[in-house]
Amino acid sequence: MTRTVVVPGSFDPVTLGHLDVVERAAALFEDVVVAVGVNASKNRLFSAEERIALLERACGHLPGVRVRGFSGLVTDFCTEIGAGAVVKGLRTAQDYEYELPMAHMNTRLSGVTTLFLPTSPEHAFVSSSLVKEVAALGGDASPFLPDFVHDALARRLAERREQQGG
Ligand code: PNS
């Protein structure tokens, strides 16, 4: 029986779309571990510690949810914590095409099953990268983020602008 599931992602930063998936997973499973990938490969706006802290605050109202960082393979992390499944949100058919080979690979590697949860239609176009682009170019990203994440994003973008000399 699967009590523990893993919701992996980069969460740079967490959006309302991510939270929708975590809330749906929390309604189905006793123990939901939101797993923040800390592999150094991608260029992140927020550090692993910052992404984890924002997620912990965003998930604070969900008693069955904990947030952990992981490095290496998501399958190894699932084995380490005894998780029976990976949960991924699907926004579009493109998400499915991107996620399906990873789901098969993860099953082949460790036997772990991936469960796909459709996101709410109102979040179907929300991604961290789009939200960052909108905010960086002066658009209003607040409808897509928890308030404190929107504040953190505004502060980080202002810091970056200062570092780059205005
Ligand atoms: O939010 P993202 O960027 O789509 O999340 C990607 C993440 C962290 C879930 C993915 O890159 C991942 O699982 N990384 C761990 C490395 C791994 O297991 N790779 C093989 C996947 S088949």
CA of 75 to the centre of ligand 1 (A): 10
CA-nearest residue for atom 10, ligand 1, is 9
Say what the pTM is.
0.96
CA of 42 to the centre of ligand 1 (A): 11
Q: Is residue 51 part of a domain?
A: yes
Half-sphere exposure (Cβ direction) of 105: Cα atoms closer than 13 Å: 9
Q: Is residue 62 part of a domain?
A: yes
CA-nearest residue for atom 21, ligand 1, is 102
CA of 38 to the centre of ligand 1 (A): 10
Higher pLDDT, 65 or 41: 65
Q: With bands split at pLDDT 50, 70 and 90, how would you rate the model's confidence at 166?
A: low
CATH number, residue 37: 3.40.50.620
Q: Is residue 13 part of a domain?
A: yes
Q: Is residue 112 part of a domain?
A: yes
Q: Is residue 165 part of a domain?
A: no
Q: Is residue 135 part of a domain?
A: no
Domain total of the chain: 1
User: Which tens digit of pLDDT belongs to each residue from 76-106?
Assistant: 999 999 999 999 999 999 999 999 999 999 9
Distance between CA atoms of 68 and 8, rounded to whole angstroms? 10
Q: Is residue 119 part of a domain?
A: yes
Structural domain boundaries enclosing 30: 4-124
Q: Is residue 34 part of a domain?
A: yes
